[in-house]
């Protein structure tokens, strides 16, 4: 299945970083969060991506245009500019990536609408370029098929903003760091959609969640796959720093690849 990643927003709440790069290119470790998301899909065998670009889309293009060269050993002949690649670069990431300009101010529903030409041949995954998870993509796909829905979203409970306490009688026995209990189920952003979803998309200002998915839900055609595992969005600098800490400490639950 093809994988759509919406990567065109401004990321204004991460302005400290997104003044320089678009939000999906903010790095966790040595690679942008966009790469982490794509690695998870590729681990499940989905290696064709359609990325909706907008704000500073040229930076995303530069990343993929230079991807092989930057991960390989090179020889550069300064006399004539000739460059040779010695080890072929990171050929484990044998992906096909469509980079599609969808407008600077376009809403998420409008961005999806502008990708219709790539997606008419069958169901596809869709996610946002700012969240990671260890969601079972095979389970999501199978749940979608069983339900017969037009669209299926992954329902998650976000991690608590605060640590928890465990008690032994009237004494505190331990502190619990930000348990994944949340305040209720929300759309975690990992979805499967049928091409019929384009009957619900239209103008460039459409929001995917507030208009497109709501209309599908009203018509009784929206399914949900409940994910109890790890999920984390990256809306703030604090959340980015939390993901960085998980990555550097070897506790990145979303790292499902070798």
Q: Give me the domains of the chain, ranges plus CATH numbers.
A: 3-248 (3.90.550.10)
Structure tokens at 44: 């499940």
DSSP string, 143-201: HHHHHT-SEEEEEE-PPPSS-EEEEETTEEEEEE-S-TT-SS-EEEEEEEE-GGGGGS-
Give per-residue pLDDT as tens, 166-212: 787 777 777 776 665 555 789 999 999 999 999 999 878 889 999 99
Give per-residue pLDDT as tens, 18-67: 999 999 999 999 999 999 999 999 999 999 999 999 999 999 999 999 88
Report yes or no: 129 and 32 within 8 Å, Cβ to Cβ: no
Q: C-alpha distances in angstroms, 232 versus 110, 130, 153?
A: 25, 9, 16
Q: Worst-scoring range by mean pLDDT, 60-64, 157-161, 201-205, 215-219?
A: 157-161
> pTM for the complete prediction?
0.90
């Amino acid at each position: 299945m093809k994988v759509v990643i919406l990567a065109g927003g401004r990321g204004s709440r991460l302005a400290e970083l997104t003044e320089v790069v678009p939000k999906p290119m903010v790095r966790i470790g040595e690679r942008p969060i966009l790469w982490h998301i794509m690695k998870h899909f590729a681990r499940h065998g989905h290696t064709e991506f359609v990325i909706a670009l907008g704000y500073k889309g040229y930076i995303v293009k530069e990343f993929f245009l230079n991807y092989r060269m930057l991960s390989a050993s090179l020889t550069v002949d300064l006399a004539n500019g000739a460059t040779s690649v010695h080890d072929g670069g990171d050929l484990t990431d044998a992906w096909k990536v469509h980079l599609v300009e969808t407008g600077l101010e376009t809403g998420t529903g409008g961005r999806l609408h502008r990708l219709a030409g790539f997606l008419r041949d069958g169901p596809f995954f869709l996610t946002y370029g700012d969240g990671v998870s260890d969601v079972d993509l095979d389970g999501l796909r199978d749940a979608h098929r069983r339900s017969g829905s037009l669209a299926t979203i992954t329902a998650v409970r976000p991690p608590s903003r605060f640590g928890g306490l465990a008690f032994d009688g009237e004494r505190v026995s331990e502190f619990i760091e930000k348990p994944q209990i949340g305040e209720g189920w929300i759309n975690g952003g990992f979805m499967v959609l049928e091409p019929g979803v384009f009957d619900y998309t239209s103008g460039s200002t459409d929001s995917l969640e507030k208009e497109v998915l709501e209309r599908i839900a009203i018509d009784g055609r929206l399914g949900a796959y409940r994910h109890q595992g790890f999920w984390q969005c990256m809306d703030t600098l604090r959340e980015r720093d939390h993901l960085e800490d998980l990555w550097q400490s070897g506790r990145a639950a979303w790292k499902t690849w070798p």
